[in-house]
Structure 1
Amino acid sequence: MLKAKTHTGLVFFPAYDWAISATHPEREERLLYTQDQISEEGLLDVEGIDEFKAGVVDIEDVQRVHFCVPDARSVMTESHFISAGGAKTIGKAKMDGLVDRGFALVRPPGHHAMRVVHGGRGFCNVNNEAIMIEYLRHAYGIDRVAIIDTDCHHGDGTQDIYWHDPDTLFISMHQDGRTLFPGTGFNNETGGPTAAGTTLNIPLPPYTSEEGFLTVLEKAVLPILQEFKPDLIINSAGQDNHFTDPLTNMNFSAKGYADLTSRLKPDIAVLEGGYSIESALPYVNVGLILAMAGMDYSHVVEPEYSAERLRQGPSITATIERTCQQVIDTWNDRQNIRIRMQENVIYAERNNTVFYDTDGFYETQHETLQVCRQCSGVLKIDSSVERKMRVLAVHIPRKACENCRKTGYQWFEKTDMGSYDMILLQDRPEDQYRVRKK
């Protein structure tokens, strides 16, 4: 009998009752073909590859991460609770010592969901990885976490959630935002004043091949991970960099994904995008599972694969080399960047306009961070959707100092309701979520 070198857990949740539409790429077939391929390859018969059933996240799990407007059940279906629950299940299995690594093959995806959620954008309503991470921090005392996002689309939601968190390293490698939704993820997006340098973006030119992705891994991602020393490495395992994906313009392959996974050695992978339902996903997922289990994946080759046809040009290689150096320079200079950003600043502010492309509306945000030398700072977000809802969301961070906790409660309790429909509070040190309404 075949045996995995690394004990690996899997969770499958195809979400039969949830799809953007019957013919939309984000539908249950994304995982059904993969399940068939895994069955045909006999992976679940391998000793050391075990399947777990997805659990369901609690409202409290969601509220550690999101301000859902007006509430979680208004923006989540049962499938969203189970998809996030699948990630939580595999995270618990890892922390309880039942597996060494785990892969949550779940949908709906989540990495475009930001801290404030009014609906669906980029096929995402809530952030599966963030919900899992904050549960593990709460339940197991995990501290430093690295999230490596390999989806072709920039993980703008995950970036937003961890923009001010110096204990979470977020690295996204993705197709250049000038050519693809959501149009973000550039080198100058490096995090807020108390966490600058722990958000790192690596925009890649269209038609980057496995050579380019593996160059990024070896020259930027792995050296930074070695220095950051995370307690857990999470892979937001989007698969839409594949050369057959209908929504993107990249040239990654199933073996390339497996090579990346083998070298990255994530503790937990969570499925994100990937919309080549028959030509890519079954092969990519089999390669990922074999790589996580420490098994031979050299035989995993797509019928349409041609190394010669997919080879990237020298200009792409040169661009990627320059980008890697810029990322390393930002990482090495992060302390000086934070000092410059904090100098003579009491409050740091930024404005965001967020397009909910799935639901078809815009949100405007005004964000205020009380810059603190003792913690990552208390945050408030004034968020409104035209003709719908206006809320003030107050976030007290996990390691907040007493002064920032007091400020957070003052913002929550003393702000005049005025034109606000709701004022919301996340008190992470006390693991509480509170609501004021008119």
Structure 2
Amino acid sequence: MKCGAIKMLKAKNRLGLVFFPAFDWAISPTHPEREERLLYTQDQIFEEGINDIEGIKFYNPNIASNKDIERVHFCVPSVEDRATTSHMISAGGAIKAAEAVMEGEADKAFALVRPPGHHAQRVVYGDRGFCIINIEAIMLENLRARYGHRRVAIIDTDCHHGDGTQDIYWNDRDTLFISFHQDGRTLYPGTGFIDEFGGPGAIGYNINVPLPPGTGQEGFLYVLDNLVLPILDEYKPELIVNSAGQDNHYTDPLTNMNFTAWGYAELNHRLNPDIAVLEGGYSIEGALPYVNLGIILAMAGLDYSHVREPDYDPAKLKQPQKITEYIKELCETIYKRWRNKESIAQEIIKGKEEIIRKRNVYYDTDGIMEYQTQRFKVCNKCSGVNMIESTSDRGMPIFAVTIPQDACPSCIDEGYKMYKEADAQNYFRIYLQDRKNDIFFKRHL
């Protein structure tokens, strides 16, 4: 690190930091997602004197409750069977970050927690992409339950497509989800294309920016300035959340991008999120300590211009002109789709009473294949009640109903009717998630 120790500084923005390395949980002792991901960061931020800066405050995480998880997920067979204590504390760390902001104790907050969560979808049979429960979504729905509904934008800057967050907010126009990531044709989870545009109640409010391998600082900041920020200006969210994955870094062992620690800091400075939550990032020594430091300084409103990795070489990281031109054309195409979302929506839902979405979801860590059908009611008064029928190659078929937060009386009645009339003989579990009234029911044989 070339910036030297930081002393006698005062943050321009009061910043809350929640730190939780999850010492007792790892997929395996040598797996990329293990406690060292944050231990090197801990050493770095203490070495640089971050804890001595006036206006930066460290918080201990909360522990998420089962109710927090059930606002978001259908865990099969239960929350207790799927989520470990470490996962509940990771989600609780994100909740604590949001709480610090909402209670006015901090202007901004950054949850440096693990395990990550953005690949965890509405249905959870196991671990996929190192994720079991979706910590940003759990944080957001806890925030809405406690402080009132908010119009929120989630900007996912992880190198892997945030397919779990996309699934959770697929039909929610009050949650704009933008993910820019390495093209799914070249990287797990193989999703995140521009035609994945949202459900019938929120067409256009799910935006994917699949970037080519080799994208560097120039490309990421171009996407931010010429696509993400203009869309945010038009959407006008009340809160901005950065799903702050760090595996776009040029040293990451799982990806093929060329982003830098300074670039991450600059991105956060320009994006200006209220809350950031750590997601992926597996260059444990070469990237995370420097990237996290840069993000902390940027969110605190402090100078991050000297944040550099020891092996930083701009000549080696220069983005090819071919990639630059591709990204410009991609951004133009996506922005036009955003501006034309209403006409695209009318074309998709015209004459339809429901939209059916069939999916196979692979849990790569646990080797489980899920077979899922989602049905979304097309309603002209609200987002529309929706249901999921799902099973896995290990059995445990489920039927799950979600009543959206903006549900009209007709969709509320229909949701409860579907739940009550579902035949328990056909399903291992039957769920009802009433987001309008913050109620969760579950029944089984």
* TM-score bracket for the superposition, by shorter chain length: over 0.9
The counterpart of 2:117, out of the listed 100, 110, 117, is 110
Look up the match of 2:331. Answer: 324
CA drift at 1:298? 1.1
The counterpart of 2:357, out of the listed 334, 337, 350, is 350
**SS state at 1:86 partner:** helix
TM-score (norm 2): 0.98
Matched, 1:241 2:248: yes
Superposed CA deviations along residues 346-371 of structure 1, whole A, max 9, x for unmatched, are 01101010000010110010111111
The counterpart of 2:94, out of the listed 87, 112, 136, is 87
Hey, what's the Cα distance between the residues in 1 that align with 2:329 and 2:192?
Answer: 16
The counterpart of 1:401, out of the listed 389, 398, 408, is 408
Hey, what's the Cα distance between the residues in 2 that align with 1:396 and 1:156?
Answer: 21
Instruction: Tell me which amino acid in the other structure corresponds to 2:38.
Output: L
Q: In 2, are the aligned partners of 1:153 and 1:182 still within 8 Å (CA)?
A: yes
Look up the match of 2:57. Answer: 50
Hey, what's the Cα distance between the residues in 1 that align with 2:415 and 2:246?
Answer: 39
Aligned ranges 1:224-303 → 2 under 5 Å: 224-303=231-310
Q: In 1, are the aligned partners of 2:371 and 2:392 still within 8 Å (CA)?
A: yes
Instruction: Tell me which amino acid in the other structure corresponds to 2:76.
Output: V
CA drift at 1:418? 3.1
Matched, 1:75 2:82: yes
Look up the match of 2:29. Answer: 22
The counterpart of 1:10, out of the listed 13, 17, 24, is 17
CA drift at 1:435? 1.0
CA drift at 1:384? 0.2
Instruction: Tell me which amino acid in the other structure corresponds to 1:231.
Output: E
Aligned ranges 1:57-206 → 2 under 5 Å: 57-206=64-213
Superposed CA deviations along residues 267-326 of structure 1, whole A, max 9, x for unmatched, are 000000000000000000000000000000111100111111101111100110011111
Hey, what's the Cα distance between the residues in 2 that align with 1:387 and 1:212?
Answer: 42
Q: In 2, are the aligned partners of 1:187 and 1:326 still within 8 Å (CA)?
A: no
Look up the match of 2:366. Answer: 359
CA drift at 1:335? 1.1
Matched, 1:313 2:337: no
Say how many residue pairs are matched.
438
Superposed CA deviations along residues 215-262 of structure 1, whole A, max 9, x for unmatched, are 000000000001101010000000000000000000000000000000
Q: In 2, are the aligned partners of 1:208 and 1:252 still within 8 Å (CA)?
A: yes
CA drift at 1:417? 2.1
Superposed CA deviations along residues 388-414 of structure 1, whole A, max 9, x for unmatched, are 200001000111001001111111001
Hey, what's the Cα distance between the residues in 1 that align with 2:15 and 2:149?
Answer: 20
CA drift at 1:428? 1.1
Matched, 1:379 2:386: yes
Percentage identity across aligned positions?
Answer: 59
Instruction: Tell me which amino acid in the other structure corresponds to 2:24.
Output: D
Hey, what's the Cα distance between the residues in 2 that align with 1:387 and 1:63?
Answer: 22
Q: In 2, are the aligned partners of 1:381 and 1:394 still within 8 Å (CA)?
A: yes
Look up the match of 2:47. Answer: 40
CA drift at 1:76? 0.3
| CA root-mean-square deviation | 0.7
Matched, 1:370 2:398: no
CA drift at 1:419? 2.1
**SS state at 1:36 partner:** helix
Look up the match of 1:207. Answer: 214
Q: In 2, are the aligned partners of 1:177 and 1:184 still within 8 Å (CA)?
A: yes
Look up the match of 2:397. Answer: 390
Matched, 1:415 2:422: yes
CA drift at 1:336? 1.1
Q: In 2, are the aligned partners of 1:194 and 1:342 still within 8 Å (CA)?
A: no
Instruction: Tell me which amino acid in the other structure corresponds to 2:175.
Output: T
Instruction: Tell me which amino acid in the other structure corresponds to 2:364.
Output: D
**SS state at 1:389 partner:** strand
Unaligned 5+ runs, structure 1: none
Hey, what's the Cα distance between the residues in 2 that align with 1:349 and 1:111?
Answer: 23
Q: In 2, are the aligned partners of 1:142 and 1:231 still within 8 Å (CA)?
A: no
TM-score (norm 1): 0.99
Hey, what's the Cα distance between the residues in 2 that align with 1:5 and 1:297?
Answer: 13
Superposed CA deviations along residues 166-195 of structure 1, whole A, max 9, x for unmatched, are 111000000000000000000111101110
Unaligned 5+ runs, structure 2: 1-7
